């Protein structure tokens, strides 16, 4: 399966985020940038603002983001912590079961909200 999990405040269910979907790209961007408007997010991801707003409304209904609607702007807050993207296995060549640098840097320890 080509998806990763992200925690959300939706009754304990863990929604799946497709790796290369607009939803996943938005979550990745939001985790790195705050505060951000829907307009800035759309520009950063290279999609029309109208499409981004439609996607954000769906994401809000799934408990992934919160939208703060002001008269002239819509600010977006990320409500989930998604797993960092893994590098491709090409050329990895490490020993099976060895701890990589990314795993050492994992924040949140054994916290189930951080996957």
The mean per-residue pLDDT over the stretch 94-103 comes to: 53
| pLDDT tens digit sequence for 24-56 | 899 999 999 989 999 999 999 999 999 999 999
Query: Can you give the CATH number for the domain in which 51 is found?
Result: 1.10.10.10
CA distance 9 to 111: 15
Looking at per-residue pLDDT, the higher value among 109 and 4 belongs to 109
- The answer on pLDDT for 113 being more than 90 is no
On whether residue 39 sits in a domain, the answer given is yes
Q: How many helices and strands in the chain, by DSSP H and E? A: 4, 5
Q: Is-above-0.85 flag for pTM?
A: no
- The answer on pLDDT for 21 being more than 50 is yes
On whether residue 92 sits in a domain, the answer given is no
CA distance 96 to 43: 40
CA distance 28 to 84: 8
- Kindly give, in sequence order, each residue whose CB lies less than 8 Å from that of residue 15, ignoring residues fewer than 6 positions away: 5, 6, 8, 62, 63, 64, 80
On whether residue 102 sits in a domain, the answer given is no
Q: Please count the structural domains in the chain.
A: 1
On whether residue 95 sits in a domain, the answer given is no
CA distance 57 to 10: 15
On whether residue 114 sits in a domain, the answer given is no
Which residue bears the tokens 């079961």?
A: 97
Q: Which residues pair with 78 in a beta bridge?
A: 65
Look up the domain containing 72 and give its range. 15-83
């Amino acid at each position: 399966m080509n998806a990763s999990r992200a925690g959300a405040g939706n009754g304990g269910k863990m929604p799946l985020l497709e790796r290369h979907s607009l939803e996943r790209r938005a979550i990745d961007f939001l985790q790195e940038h705050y505060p951000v408007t829907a307009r800035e997010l759309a520009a950063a991801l290279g999609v029309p603002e109208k499409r981004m707003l439609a996607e954000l409304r769906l994401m809000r209904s799934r408990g992934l983001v919160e939208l703060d609607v002001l008269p002239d702007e819509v600010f977006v807050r990320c409500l989930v912590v998604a797993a960092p993207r893994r590098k491709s296995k090409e050329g990895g060549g490490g020993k099976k079961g060895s701890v990589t640098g990314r795993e050492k840097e994992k924040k949140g320890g054994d916290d189930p909200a951080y996957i």
